[in-house]
Amino acid sequence: MSERDHAFYAPQIFDVGTDLAAARRVILSDEEMGAEERWRVETPYLVDLIFEHVLLSPASLVLDYGCGVGRLSRPLTLRAGCRVVGTDISYDMLALAVREVCSPRFIACGPPALDGLGLRFDLALSVWTLQHVHRLHETIAWLAAKLRPGGRLFVVNNRCRAVPTDLGWVDDGLDVAALLDEHLDRRETIPLDPAILSRFLVDRTLCGVWEAR
């Protein structure tokens, strides 16, 4: 965070040890329906959206950026048979993801290790992640570089930022959609169903697909 804000980036909130329930509460906050119910309802809905808007096959290589405990990685490997690489800044989350996905078509690693693999992806997912990252411009450029030409980025994200700091969650005013448009081509903006996600979430959420240049 900037000196102007007198706040410092503090991602330790994502360090949950081996507690899956705690991880779910951090990944999905308790607005309206509660984290567990939201997890149960939202997860299959988002998976269906991905399959409606992106073509996936067993040959597809997918990057799940901010994979958490692998709640999207697991159904993608099962339903499409695709290969998924999950990455997250929390090594606790990555360890849980390996356990929860439990698939030979899934691996988990931190961003530095991923850089060393030299992989280019057909699809990247960023679901409820970009609002939390520290250096947003650099992160979006990094994601764009991880896609093959024509590869897609599927995004679900708060319209406002919520960066974890020593002073709590901070909105630094950065425009996620504008930065995505700067680095990739927007293919479509996807309307979300308030009957599933609640009007509260829908009014505060950006969902869309971008394409690498």
Token pair, residue 191, equals 């309307």
Query: pLDDT by residue (tens digit) across 99-156?
Result: 999 999 999 999 999 999 999 999 999 999 999 999 999 999 999 999 999 999 999 9
Report the pLDDT value the prediction gives residue 30, as an integer from 0 to 100. Answer: 57
Based on the structure, what is the number of domains in the chain?
1
Question: Residue type at 71?
Answer: R
Q: How many CA atoms lie within 13 A of 99 on its CB side?
A: 12
14: pLDDT strictly greater than 80: yes
Report the pLDDT value the prediction gives residue 174, as an integer from 0 to 100. Answer: 97
3-state DSSP of 81-107: CCEEEEECCCHHHHHHHHHHHCCCCEE
Task: Provide the Cα torsion 119, 54, 88, 79; round to 10°.
Answer: -100
Query: pLDDT by residue (tens digit) across 26-43?
Result: 888 756 667 788 889 999
Q: Which residues constitute the domain of residue 189?
A: 3-211
Report the pLDDT value the prediction gives residue 36, as an integer from 0 to 100. Answer: 83
Report the pLDDT value the prediction gives residue 4, as an integer from 0 to 100. Answer: 46
Question: pLDDT class for 88, splitting at 50, 70, 90?
Answer: very high
C-alpha distances out from residue 70 to 15, 185, 206, 211, Å: 15, 27, 21, 23
Report the pLDDT value the prediction gives residue 25, as an integer from 0 to 100. Answer: 85
Alpha helices in 54-154 (DSSP H): 73-80, 91-101, 111-117, 136-146
91: pLDDT strictly greater than 80: yes
Query: pLDDT by residue (tens digit) across 36-72?
Result: 888 899 999 999 999 999 999 999 999 999 999 999 9
Report the pLDDT value the prediction gives residue 7, as an integer from 0 to 100. Answer: 84
Query: pLDDT by residue (tens digit) across 176-191?
Result: 999 999 999 999 999 9
- What pTM does this model have? 0.93
- Domain with 166 in it: what CATH number? 3.40.50.150
Collapse the DSSP code of 160 into the 3-class scheme (helix H, G, I; strand E, B; otherwise coil) and give the result. Answer: coil
Instruction: Find the mean pLDDT for residues 93-104.
Output: 96
